[in-house]
Chains A and B, each alone.
Chain A
């Protein structure tokens, strides 16, 4: 047996991949992360509102998801109901973060590991999208406009028209990348000399968040963390590993289901689902923008001072969980479980995590691509 130690970079940080091979095929893989920052430690004993400023800094790529999850956890702990307008605004910014993340991931992380591409195409989108988020939230990345009880911003009619206009313009332009009937030249080009059916994984999917158009199929209460050999923690649901992310949460869609039936949970299906999800989010956002009533209140003040709460959302990479315990307006304890922990846990030979399972039986040359298909976020893991 041969063991190769690989460093996987360009995943917003780096991971160590130990590949155990037999006859050139991968037999087993170990995943390690060697960074730690201690986010949960700084949150202790601070005013609970501070979590809304600190938590986006967990990650520069999907920080907005952390902000929304934080607000939801606090709202859950203090029994706050938010208005419809605040809810819609949050859906728009979170949906947009998912969209720009997927486009950048495809053109900046995944594609260059196979062949060269002009990434300005992707940057054009992210520039326009970050502008709309900034219009609502103030800046991107790292804003704190979503606070427990609502939002701080107060949009005018003109700004909402700008948002709507920009959304439909980008939706149109996105058709060049992946059309609503599932045609994508760049995706086919990427797979011109790679088999579509490699990287099959556990075929076990989990959705925990109920935001955007996603419907959960589980309860976050059953999620458990356990120590692993490196500085990250493994995450199990009912004592089993599950895959989270765009493939897991879009199997209801007919087109994605068709691809899934043909290639199962291979890398092609995984990439297809991620790219196609952008279309579905655009459609959803364009629908809810019209349902917004700008005369509604932006914010409802919390009354309670103590409580325990959980905030679960579907973030760009899958289900994100924030748990908070508030005592006398201060944070007593905080726990964060990120999607990459679900997908990239380091399991044993008889109990594999989704990323480990996807590598087994494949050639080493393809391990980088298969691994990156989960859209790994190393900084989130090292929170």
Chain B
């Protein structure tokens, strides 16, 4: 049972801590032309997406306001900066991102003001000053081969592996942002030349995975606000993904779902079926095997998402999807397992992908293929 009073107590105790940011949430919102009403609307929406009752909306607003009591250290490992791009730059300034910027980012390679030596100094200082209190967000997988020499950071050429371990040691909570830090990502694709891994593989602490390539800003902010609200990590599935975001399959709320059920599939890009918006399963959509909220939240201020633009889901929030979901333009049910890494792939699929539902999906597609095409 969720106890709202406990949450309120916790927020009160956080309020007593010194604020780290220069400005209050109120000031930042006003500067950027958002009203209090916009802010409360956002809080309500976030409460719902966190799976909380509507009565929690004002508490979520309070939590966002005390979020600058929570120092955040953001590490970049082997990655493409796409997560930061989508979260901190491209989508801004929606309220989510304002809050995200507002949460005290003590260290972030791409967006902090300090650079070079100064930045390294800030980093060391933040680790000391906020020992045991900071939230560590990691973007990018960690190369482990040859002692991690494929990624070195900073003036002393410290390996990403050693920097990660050092930073994780005194973190209050660790959040893996994006598929690379959650599961190794593209770097870890076969033949994985740098021995890249998800960060939970090299740390002996609990890591919350917020995968996606890139993940949605809402999922990140949601996870952080949850940590503030409850002082603990959100409920997770067996891959340590927060259930509020990764609780349902892409397929469950897909706008093309009706066509799937009716057995209406796109067989060829550019065909009449494609123009009619039929189901993309046969063009390789991995929506039925992928847990994420893209079909509900979409991207770029709810504008669109890959399936809406006519390309199937590639399964980017699933572990090892670069290998297990390939080829991306062919349905998983037709998987021929003939590539050089067939053994590895077959094993992974056996474990992670082909659930009962997956078998049912394949059967459904096979049956509907026999049906004559609609006139």
- Chain A residues packing against B (C-beta within 8 Å): 5-10, 12-14, 34-39, 41-42, 45-47, 49-50, 52-54, 57-61, 63, 100, 104, 108, 112-113, 120, 123-124, 126-127, 130-131, 133-145, 147, 149-154, 231, 297-301, 368, 379, 382
Contacts and interface: CB of A to CB of B under 8 A. Distances in A.
Contacts of A143: 306, 309, 311
Interface of B: 32, 76, 78-86, 89-94, 109-113, 115-117, 119-120, 150-155, 157, 185-187, 189-191, 193-194, 196, 213-214, 268-270, 274-275, 298-301, 303-311, 314, 322, 326-330, 339-341
A35 B327 contact: no
A60 B309 contact: no
A314 B118 CA distance: 35
Given A35-B78, A127-B93, A149 B269 contact: yes
Nearest to B180: A57
A11 to B, nearest CB: 9
A47 B330 contact: yes
B306 A301 contact: no
Given A134-B299, A134-B300, A150 B189 contact: no
A36 B78 CA distance: 8
A61 B85 contact: yes
Contact of A45 (B194, B301, B339): B339
Given A9-B109, A50-B328, A60-B85, A138 B305 contact: yes
A60 B269 contact: no
Contacts of A53: 314, 328
Contacts of A54: 186, 189, 322
Given A49-B329, A152-B269, A368 B90 contact: no
Contacts, number: 220
Nearest to A155: B309
9 nearest CB pairs, A to B: A60-B82, A299-B270, A138-B309, A152-B310, A38-B193, A139-B299, A47-B327, A134-B300, A42-B189
Given A42-B189, A138-B311, A150-B269, A35 B150 contact: yes
Q: Which of B94, B157, B213, B300 has the most CB of A within 10 A?
A: B300
A263 B34 CA distance: 43
Nearest to A133: B300
**Which of A39, A124, A134 has the most C-beta atoms of chain B within 10 angstroms of its own C-beta?**
A134
Nearest to B119: A9
A57 B189 CA distance: 12
Contacts of B330: 47
A299 B311 CA distance: 13
* Residue of B81, B84, B328 most packed against chain A (CB within 10 A): B81
A14 B75 CA distance: 13
Given A49-B327, A139-B300, A368 B116 contact: yes
Given A45-B341, A126-B92, A299-B269, 12 more contacts: A46-B326, A53-B314, A112-B113, A120-B93, A123-B92, A124-B93, A135-B303, A138-B311, A140-B299, A152-B269, A301-B268, A368-B115
A231 to B, nearest CB: 8
A57 B80 contact: yes
Contact of B309 (A57, A108, A136, A368): A136
A141 B93 contact: no
A123 B120 CA distance: 26
Contact of B79 (A52, A297, A379): A379
Given A34-B151, A144-B314, A138 B307 contact: yes
A126 B190 CA distance: 34
A50 B82 contact: no
A23 B258 CA distance: 74
Contact of A14 (B82, B109, B113): B109
A7 B93 contact: no
Contact of B81 (A7, A61, A133): A61
A15 to B, nearest CB: 11
A141 to B, nearest CB: 5
Contacts of B304: 134-135, 137-139
